[in-house]
A and B are shown apart, each in its own frame.
Chain A
Amino acid sequence: MSGDCILTIDHLTMRFGGIVAVHDLSFDAERRKITALIGPNGAGKTTVFNCITGFYKPTSGTMRLTHDDRRDIQLERLNDFRISKQAKVARTFQNIRLFPGMTALENLMVAQHNALMRASGLTFLGLIGAPSWRTAEKRAIDQATLWLDRIGLIDRADDAAGNLPYGDQRRLEIARAMCTEPALLCLDEPAAGLNARESAALSELLLSIRADHGVSILLIEHDMSVVMEISDHVVVMDYGVKIAEGTPQNVRDDPKVIAAYLGADEEEAIAVMESGT
């Protein structure tokens, strides 16, 4: 694939004992584009995310992240928290992982940890209440407020995240990931469990995030209407291998893809085909 890539996955393989969850997978994600990763259940999509975000160490293969300033980072060499801190990759989880006992606002404050840690002079300036820390804190709250406003949760800023309805939690998790100021945002099934109206709102949110913040998005999604509507490029996986890739249009008509979904689940295959017509 030509063009400006933010992420290049090269021959990625992930084994768990006997199970090969991802096998020799290569694909690229273009800068400021939305790349969708789709495939039937158990295809290995989440595993790819876990490799990218450092939760699993891949058995073999490389993952290269290229920042705007052409700086290359080999993700497989960084471990967990550094991927978010240094490589600027943020993610959400398939089963939402907010901090349920903290408020929506606090969740977004935690996400700005590294910036705030610096501003608080590794806690010491903060402890004595230095003015520079005060302004930094104010700015962080403003940033969080901004995101709460964008996801329409400003009225629930002071409610516990665990008390929010499911759809709101999904959006809050996206906002939380964005508060780390990422270059690449990885979303694991953000539309799961949302109704049609909420899905449409989500598509809009993702498009605006890309437009306003210049982030590139990697998206795992089963909801084909979302995939077809917003993604620029689609990679299809089945049983850990890539079976197709291309524009949404191409992929939808690919017989291999239809077969994969048919083999896995008839309804999903029909959904794929119908969403194109």
Chain B
Amino acid sequence: MTGVGVTAPALEATQVSRAAGVAFIFKKAVISALVALVLFSLMIGIRTEAGPAGQLIYWTRFGDLAAMVATVFGGSIVVELLRQWWGPVDTVRIVPPRVQSTLALARRAIAPVLLVFTFLVPVIFYNERYILDLGILVLTYVMLGWGLNVVVGLAGLLDLGYVAFYAVGAYSYALLATTFGLSFWVCLPLAGILAALWGVLLGFPVLRLRGDYLAIVTLAFGEIIRLVIINWQSLTGGPNGVTGIPRPTLFGIPLTPADDGLAARLGIEFSPTHRIVFLFYLILALALLTNWVTIRLRRLPIGRAWEALREDEVACRALGINTTTTKLTAFATGAMFGGFAGAFFATRQGFISPESFTFQESALVLAIVVLGGMGSQLGVALAALAMIGGFELFRGLDQYRMLVFGLAMVLLMIWRPRGLIGHRAPTVFLRHSHAISSDLVKEGHG
């Protein structure tokens, strides 16, 4: 695909830009502004709204239009200047060895430091409910990311409907707990198993599919699950969702102000924060379990077969690997972790509805995995922190939030198409474990 003829014009363009300087930048900015003017003319220049009598009314917003066009003009100049300062995208920057070794050290330290910090979060931020909630949210996505990482990052199978398993887990717990009164700890494994079963169910038809056919089928599957949840009102409560989902207990001891509650038993004063802290450690434990199992699996034949499948399916078959079961186990394992996360989500919220399980969620989790650097556990954790944390930062932007989020996704992909952690760690070594550059690592066809 890459060819001399294809890339040459781009190189030429940058050289020309160096030479032509101001005139070139100006010309480019004018063109961008003109394009923006046409694009925004109707969409921003004119605002439509359904009037009180149902008829359509409109008013003009030429001021906003002018402001946007001016912004694009200015932005184009800034971007072009930055680009010239930074050099072509592929420029190799020489990093002095001293800096390099410091960086390597920092990189090795990052995972333990992050882990210790996470453990301390409830201690440090005990009185900051908001941070604790955010922490729980981030950890939920870390877990989802690690779960999907098995399917996408290790086995190289594209799954755009991961949220379906999250939903299956959440609804399994919600319905089992509300109808049969089963406890969280009984339901948790059940939710995981049910989700895994659905994973296998999805896995079967898609086994023969490759690439984008797989993508669309998994997407369709996610939508089917969501639509069924919405429409099967007698079971799922439809769009109203399930309410009154029991809160988790510490192995039977509820975290309530009641007499048999944890606080009363320990003889301390009850505080609602206890439950939040408990939830925090619960999701942390679940996430770490996911991580531990995944790391373990990578070193077992099944995990190596997943990665081999991502590298070259034909070679796998020639080596006697049953690609069907290998794919199915990947789907099932990923789905199971999604199911656990879903059960946690249900117990944390106490209320679930189909709105929490849209395609956006699948896309978000997939973005976390890809941005993390496919297959890298640490990368996924960092990406989840960056994405969810970043998303929270923009909370103030309100309706512009998704807009900014979408743009960030585009820019991040352009900046790091291979993700934050751009290498793969071998699962076994004889003498030294060298990280493998992601340029060599394939990303699968499925």
Partner-B contacts on A (CB < 8 A): 53-55, 80-85, 90-91, 93, 97-103, 105-106, 109-114, 116-117, 120, 123, 126-127, 141, 145, 148, 154, 157-160, 162-163, 176-177, 180
Contact = CB atoms under 8 A, between A and B. Distances in A.
B194 interface: no
Given A99-B308, A101-B441, A162-B440, 16 more contacts: A55-B317, A81-B322, A84-B317, A84-B319, A93-B314, A98-B312, A100-B442, A101-B424, A102-B308, A103-B436, A106-B307, A106-B427, A109-B428, A110-B319, A113-B308, A120-B302
Contact of B320 (A100, A109, A114, A123): A114
Nearest to A53: B318
Contact of A157 (B305, B430, B436): B430
B321 A97 contact: no
Contacts of B441: 100-101
Contacts of A127: 293, 296-297, 300
B432 interface: yes
A126 B307 contact: no
A141 B426 CA distance: 14
Interface of B: 293, 296-297, 300-302, 304-305, 307-308, 311-312, 314-323, 329, 424, 426-434, 436-438, 440-442
Contacts of A99: 307-308, 311-312, 315
24 contacts: A55-B317, A81-B316, A81-B321, A81-B323, A83-B320, A84-B317, A99-B311, A101-B436, A103-B426, A103-B428, A109-B428, A110-B316, A110-B319, A110-B321, A112-B301, A113-B304, A113-B321, A123-B329, A126-B300, A127-B296, A158-B429, A160-B434, A163-B440, A176-B319
A46 to B, nearest CB: 13
A123 B314 contact: no
Contact of A113 (B319, B434, B436, B442): B319
Contacts, number: 138
A83 B311 CA distance: 21
Contacts of B305: 110, 113
A126 B319 CA distance: 21
Nearest to A119: B301
B440 A101 contact: yes
B327 to A, nearest CB: 12
A101 B312 CA distance: 10
A83 B427 CA distance: 27
Nearest to A110: B308
Contacts of B308: 99, 102, 110, 113
A105 B429 contact: yes
Nearest to A122: B302
Given A110-B305, A120-B300, A123-B300, A80 B317 contact: yes
A194 B21 CA distance: 51
Contacts of B323: 80-81
A177 B300 CA distance: 20
A65 B276 CA distance: 65
